[in-house]
A and B are shown apart, each in its own frame.
Chain A
């Protein structure tokens, strides 16, 4: 059914072939020795790369049933793109440094929306939490969220856990993590003065934040 090289559309759960004939590639999974598609997309069959030189001579008795794995074609399913290879959505992983915007603050945590992961701007806004004990490395129990973040700040943080269904867990407990852009109560963009203060150039007022060390 699938030995032809013409591509066709597979839906999730569609049987692609036996695991004895094909190697599973991205977008497929094995269930009871059969390959099934996991995605809705085009089916690609990649022929195995033949090793150069003469084939090794078999000098022991082997069961002549399945071809060895190196000779099986790889079957994969990819989401249909508009011709060019569409990148899969990058998701934040543990240890990634992300940029996020503070949405809401409560006495125990700050809720943020993760905007970029490394250099890639994410397509969807994932929600993250920065708990008070992860805001800084010293004096963790005496952190006041109102003196570290405010809603609307842009924060550089590190993902410490993939968390639960709703939130990633982030941390700003390093010198180079923290608030990188902030607006004052009067509405002007502020510039950092030291590790815990931003100043508004127009009104001269300072506001407390957990400031990220500029690179």
Chain B
């Protein structure tokens, strides 16, 4: 991980000393970098260049506008309409709808399938995403046949967040690497709620109490817009919970 964050712009040349080397593993390029044979590496987005010498990989961390689907992403979509044997699900505004087959739910057969109305929220995984076709989703794990948390999201409310915050919320070590701890802090204060984070910049919050839902949504929005550090998030959570009580 870079000690001093290096900001790169599209088309910048990268200092060769920054490119990691490894005895055995080939160099892996992540999102935001492009390899021009034979030996040029060029950033294609503006952001922070991150290098992982252990895995011999490098990528650019950026907080960008439109969500571009890629396979195995978890997303929150809103059902737009139902066609022959598909649901058309909207993942982000002003983009083509993704297709979710009627039978891609746990235990769904032709006779017993969930009836989703237009406007319903679902938590799904992207199965097919490429430049040439509309994306496709599934709400069941194709290997195990179980839902594993996917499916319709009932009640609650979905909030829009930036793509960068959504990615950091989904990180395994979100406190150290993602520097976002607001959801854990809210839970530690005694609020009871559940969340689902979609990589397409949507977070669903569900709870028995509407005040809790609104509070969690506000906390997320302020973390996002203020780009708060962990300390600032702690202060924010304390302030919001005090207002609640």
Partner-B contacts on A (CB < 8 A): 104-107, 145-146, 150-151, 202-203
Contact = CB atoms under 8 A, between A and B. Distances in A.
A150 B37 CA distance: 24
Contacts of A106: 133-134
B28 to A, nearest CB: 14
| A-B complex: 5 closest residue pairs judged by Cβ atoms | A151-B132, A105-B132, A105-B133, A146-B130, A150-B132
Contact-residue size bin, chain B (C-beta under 8 Å from the other chain):
under 10
A151 B128 CA distance: 16
A146 B128 contact: yes
A interface majority secondary structure: loop
Contacts of A151: 132
A107 B37 contact: no
B136 interface: yes
Nearest to A106: B133
A107 B132 contact: no
B interface majority secondary structure: strand
B169 interface: no
A145 B37 CA distance: 30
A150 B132 CA distance: 8
A154 to B, nearest CB: 16
Contacts of A107: 99, 128, 133, 136
B132 A146 contact: yes
A104 B134 CA distance: 11
Nearest to B101: A107
A146 B132 CA distance: 8
Contacts of B37: 202-203
A87 B12 CA distance: 58
Nearest to A202: B37
A77 to B, nearest CB: 47
Contacts of A145: 133
A42 to B, nearest CB: 49
18 contacts: A104-B132, A105-B132, A105-B133, A106-B133, A106-B134, A107-B99, A107-B128, A107-B133, A107-B136, A145-B133, A146-B128, A146-B130, A146-B132, A146-B133, A150-B132, A151-B132, A202-B37, A203-B37
Contacts of A202: 37
A2 B132 CA distance: 60
A92 B136 CA distance: 35
Given A105-B133, A107-B99, 16 more contacts: A104-B132, A105-B132, A106-B133, A106-B134, A107-B128, A107-B133, A107-B136, A145-B133, A146-B128, A146-B130, A146-B132, A146-B133, A150-B132, A151-B132, A202-B37, A203-B37
